[in-house]
Structure 1
Amino acid sequence: MNSSLSSVGVVFGREFRAYFATPLAAIFLVVFLALAGTMTFFVSGFFDRNSADLTALFAWLPWLFLVLLPAIGMRLWAEERRSGTIELLMTMPVKPWAIVAGKFLAGWAFTALALAMTFPLWITVNWLGTPDNGVILAGYLGALLMAGAFLAISACISALTRNQVIAFICSVIVTFLLVTAGIDVVLGGLRGWAPYWLTEGVAALSVLNHFERITFGLIEMPTLVFFGSLIGIALIVNTLVVELKKAQ
């Protein structure tokens, strides 16, 4: 077990450093922070609402993440396959699940860094008013869980193809479906013809609904299980795909 955990750490370090070996990290962070600030203070009419909080930031995060997280996840495996380095990686004395976990944790840590860099927004709303910091902290926890789910799904899709563009497009489609599953337009359309159990099942798959409950300060077990299940299932499928390709 210690050897496997050590392998995860080695892969994690390799992948995390790789983000900063190219301009990718800087570009992602600049774009994310610029969009987060713009959505929080300008697009959402922050100064017109006369309410100092980060509600606007959390309202926009699912839509930002469904594009930005696939951009991170698309390279995790597709680039390895395109460049041919996956063969070298597979010959290393490391179990496939440890490689999958290390790559995922590196991408998740990079996303956590991006979220942490929005801390000045939190300071700003505290300077402008008296927000409920407990609710804001819950929102950040929810954002991290949502990011983990999107990243795990994107990494899993990336393992299926050597083309990063295809991996990106497919990941955006899947995450978009998960975000929009619970909106009124979709559910209203389903209620017109679909049975009740199907409509409720689609609503239960909505990332948006679960994330919104956390942003209200409600950290509930069903929501934690939902995000944990998305991450776990995606990583298991990712591992199975890698093992299958290794056996070929």
Structure 2
Amino acid sequence: MTAGSSIAGLHAVFRRELGSYFTTPLAFVFLAAFAFAAPAFAFNVGRFFDTNRADLAPLFAYLPWLLMILMPALAMRAWAEERDRGTIETLLSLPVPVWAASLGKFLAAWVVAGLALALTFPMWIAVNYLGAPDNMAIAAGYLGAFLLAGAYLAIGQALSATTGNQVVAFVLGVLAAFLLTMAGSPFVTGALSSAVPAWLVEAIAHLSALERFSAFQSGVIGVKDLVYFLSFIAGGTAAAGLLIGASRAGGR
């Protein structure tokens, strides 16, 4: 199969998936939930107006926890729905490489996630109206949130490829995102320090998505942090493709 036909197949899967989000209420419900929940956390829990600061720190402080729930909800249908409806055989019979199908599904979901983040832009406009924020730092925070959403989506879609039950895929996705987020917390490192070597505790702490996202929150875009998120995105997408490819080879 030529590179041109593979790209055409990727584009076809991307359009199919993106269209499927908006031909059902799923995308609209997801976007509405995000548009309501993100400001609600920032205004009520983060006490946005009480900080007397012209920045989006209250929003970014709670985005990881919101993404940890909503991204698995967006990812759970990727392959589990195909298995449940029996359409996965039709998809895999098309002249589309598995990697292209996996990447196409991921990119479609990532676009929806990007649209959800874009719905919080009025808050960015508001802080510019109220004061003089560091817009470069805010832009870095949004980039970090987009990459974090991509990492959660890729992991969620890989887990979706292991089951035909969307609820199971969602629970597994939330659990994986939670573990990835909490990896560097004192609670986890303290619990592990008495059971595993110090070097392993440190290695696990470095896997913390929250720690990497915090750098973007501060306006710092580091190469190591970019590589971290892109590695999870690439690894999750590749894992989904391998799992689906293995099921095709096994006739399932």
Deviation, 1:147, is 0.6
- SS of residue paired to 1:162: coil
Amino acid at match of 1:165: V
Q: Aligned residue for 1:35?
A: 37
Cα RMSD, aligned residues only: 0.9
Equivalent position of 2:245 in the other structure: 243
1:171 to 156, 170, 173: 173
Q: Provide the C-alpha distance between the structure 2 equivalents of 1:117 and 1:46, rounded to a whole number of angstroms.
A: 17
For residue 70 of structure 1, report the CA deviation from its aligned partner.
0.4
Deviates more, 1:157-166 or 1:225-234: 225-234
171, 179, 182: which one pairs with 2:184?
182
Which residue number in structure 1 is paired with residue 12 of structure 2?
Answer: 10
Secondary structure of residue in 1 paired with 2:50: helix
Please list, as runs of the form range in 1=range in 2, the aligned pairs for 1:1-248 lying within 5 A after superposition. Answer: 1-247=3-249, 248=251
Q: Which moved more, 1:97-106 or 1:37-46?
A: 37-46
Q: Structure 1 residue 121: deviation in Å?
A: 0.9
Question: How far did 1:148 drift?
Answer: 0.6
- Cα displacement (A) at 1:193: 3.9
Residues paired across the two proteins, number:
248
DSSP 3-state at the match of 1:131: coil
Code of the residue aligned with 1:79 in structure 2: it is: E
Distance between the aligned counterparts of 2:241 and 2:233, measured in 1? 12
* TM-score between both structures, scaled by the size of structure 1: 0.98
Query: Runs of 5+ in structure 1 lacking a partner?
Result: none
For residues 57 and 193 of structure 2, the distance between their equivalents in structure 1, rounded to whole angstroms, comes to 30
Q: Structure 2 length normalisation: TM-score?
A: 0.96
Q: Cα distance, 1:129 vs. partner?
A: 1.2
Over 4 Å off, 4+ runs: none
Aligned mates of 2:81, 2:48 — CA distance in 1:
40
Deviation at 1:144, TM superposition (A): 0.7
Query: C-alpha distance in 2, partners of 1:187/1:221?
Result: 25
Name the stretch that deviates more: 40-49 or 103-112.
40-49
Letter in 1 for 2:133: P
Give the superposition deviation at 1:80: 0.6
Residue by residue, what CA displacement relative to the aligned partner does 1:207-227 show, whole Å, maximum 9, x if unpaired? 000000111011111111111
Q: Which runs of 5+ in 2 are unaligned?
A: none
Cα distance between partner residues in 1 of 2:55 and 2:191: 34
Q: Deviations over 1:44-86 (max 9, x none)?
A: 1112111121111111111001110000000010001100111
Q: Percent identity?
A: 49
Select between 37-46 and 166-175 the one with higher mean Cα deviation.
37-46
Which one-letter code corresponds to 2:217 in the other structure? T
